[in-house]
């Protein structure tokens, strides 16, 4: 089941901008290892779920996984072969707007090699460049 907001103030939003770097959520807060976005883009709820499944399957339900992003932004789409005009289309799916520096997933309770491989598998599901981080303190 894809992630969607339980309530929204407005059903449809404008595109907005992805300029600049992440203002928050750019440090490891919960786990020991993390994956960080190096470029910008939209991360759909189904892509988030695919990356989460890849991580948890490789870790074989050991350890703990934190998803640090949530898809708040609705993406609308007009039906195929529809003429121009007549308003904005219905909401098709939700995305998380990702800027460089955003921490996407964190894990703990597993070894470095297992965490690195789990994050590599998740990186294959992510539509932009990422890097593996390890807690330093």
Residue 78: give the domain boundaries.
Answer: 33-134
Whether the pLDDT of residue 1 is over 70: the answer is no
CATH of the domain at 81: 3.90.1170.10
Strand order in the sheet with 130-134: 64-67, 103-108, 33-37, 130-134
**What are the tens digits of pLDDT across the range 48-95?**
999 999 999 999 989 999 999 999 999 999 999 999 999 999 999 999
Full-prediction pTM beyond 0.85? Answer: yes
Let me know if residue 20 belongs to a domain: no
With cut-offs at 50, 70 and 90, classify the pLDDT of residue 2. Answer: confident
Q: What angle do CA 62, 66, 67 make, to 5 degrees?
A: 130
Both tokens of residue 6? 């339980």
Give 108's strand partners: 64
Q: Which of 98, 121, 104, 124 is nearest to 33 (CA)?
A: 104
- pLDDT tens digits, one per residue of 94-130: 999 999 999 999 999 999 999 999 999 999 999 999 9
Tokens of 26: 């750019």
Q: Residue 72 falls within a domain, yes or no?
A: yes
Total domains, the chain: 1
């Amino acid at each position: 089941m894809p992630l969607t907001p339980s309530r929204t103030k407005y059903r449809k939003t404008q595109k907005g901008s992805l300029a600049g770097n992440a203002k928050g959520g750019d440090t490891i807060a919960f786990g020991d290892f993390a994956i960080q976005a190096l470029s910008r883009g939209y991360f759909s709820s189904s892509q988030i779920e695919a990356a989460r499944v890849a991580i948890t399957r490789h870790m074989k339900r050991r350890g703990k996984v934190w998803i640090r992003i949530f898809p708040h932004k609705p993406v609308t789409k007009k039906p195929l072969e529809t003429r121009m005009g007549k308003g904005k289309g219905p909401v098709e799916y939700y995305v998380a707007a990702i800027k460089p520096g955003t921490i996407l997933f964190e894990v703990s309770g597993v070894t470095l090699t297992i965490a690195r491989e789990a994050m590599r598998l998740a990186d294959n599901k992510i539509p932009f460049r990422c890097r593996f981080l390890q807690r330093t303190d």
